[in-house]
């Protein structure tokens, strides 16, 4: 992998600067131009090195202290439609399907909801159940008790990054 490509990967995996033109700031730091950084990121996406490019919102720092993973037992034939309904709601920040682990774990659809407190999250869940027509489906609300880690994806391991710094 070319040195510039590795440098771009290391720079973006640490998070983009909060700036209207974050790639310009990265380019300046790397001694290149904004277009080259953008082209490099697009090439990495096209090759499948970067599969997803998104924002990691640190909800706790924004005042959202209650986080709940809501798990649903959705009939397999309607899981796609139900997931689309849930995912369309602004209160839902993640929504994905997982296999059931019967007999102890019947849930196959998961969504994450954040709020300033537990009560606000419970109200959002109640409204979501009514609005999406899934009020009869079995579900369970799992509130987070502790955050261990929250960060974006890593494309270069710390060992490779350290080696590149030592040898580069």
CATH of range 3-55; options 3.40.50.20, 2.30.40.10, 1.10.10.2890, 3.10.20.30: 1.10.10.2890
Sequence-separated contacts (24+) of 75-81 with Cβ below 8 Å: 76/108, 79/108, 79/109
Contacts of 72 (CB under 8 A, 6+ apart): 82, 107, 108, 109, 110, 111, 134, 137, 138, 139
Q: pTM here?
A: 0.62
pLDDT at 53: 74
Q: What is the pLDDT of residues 15-35, one digit of tens each?
A: 888 889 999 999 999 999 999
Q: What is the pLDDT of residues 80-96, one digit of tens each?
A: 999 999 999 999 999 99
At 13, phi and psi to the nearest 5? -75, -15
Residue 3 CB coordination number (10 Å): 10
Angle at CA of residue 126, ends 125 and 132, nearest 5°: 85
CA nearest neighbour of 70 among 91, 99, 101:
91
Q: Which regions of the chain carry the CATH code 3.30.70.3460?
A: 59-143
Find the DSSP H helices in the chain.
3-13, 22-30, 34-46, 79-88, 118-132, 158-167
Q: Which regions of the chain carry the CATH code 1.10.10.2890?
A: 3-55
Whole-number Å distance between alpha carbons of 52 and 58: 18
- Is the predicted pLDDT of residue 167 greater than 80, yes or no? no
Tell me which DSSP letter residue 89 carries: S
Fold held by 59-143: Alpha-Beta Plaits (3.30.70)
Higher pLDDT, 51 or 85: 85
In the predicted model, what is the mean pLDDT of residues 37-48?
93
pLDDT band at 130 (very low <50, low <70, confident <90, very high): very high
């Amino acid at each position: 992998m070319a040195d510039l490509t590795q440098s771009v990967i290391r720079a973006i995996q640490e998070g983009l600067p909060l700036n209207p033109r974050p790639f310009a700031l990265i380019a300046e730091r790397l001694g290149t131009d904004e277009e080259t950084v953008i082209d490099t990121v697009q090439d990495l996406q096209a090759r499948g090195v970067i599969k997803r490019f998104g924002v990691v919102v640190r909800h706790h720092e924004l005042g959202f202290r209650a986080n709940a993973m809501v798990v649903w037992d959705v009939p397999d034939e309607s899981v796609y439609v139900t997931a689309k309904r849930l995912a369309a709601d602004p209160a839902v920040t993640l929504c994905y399907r997982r296999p059931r682990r019967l007999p102890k774990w019947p849930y196959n659809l998961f969504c994450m909801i954040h709020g300033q407190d537990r009560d606000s999250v419970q109200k959002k869940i109640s409204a979501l159940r009514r609005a999406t027509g899934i009020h009869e489906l079995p579900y369970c609300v799992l509130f987070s008790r502790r955050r261990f880690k929250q960060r974006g994806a890593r494309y270069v391991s710390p060992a490779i990054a350290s080696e590149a710094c030592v040898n580069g």
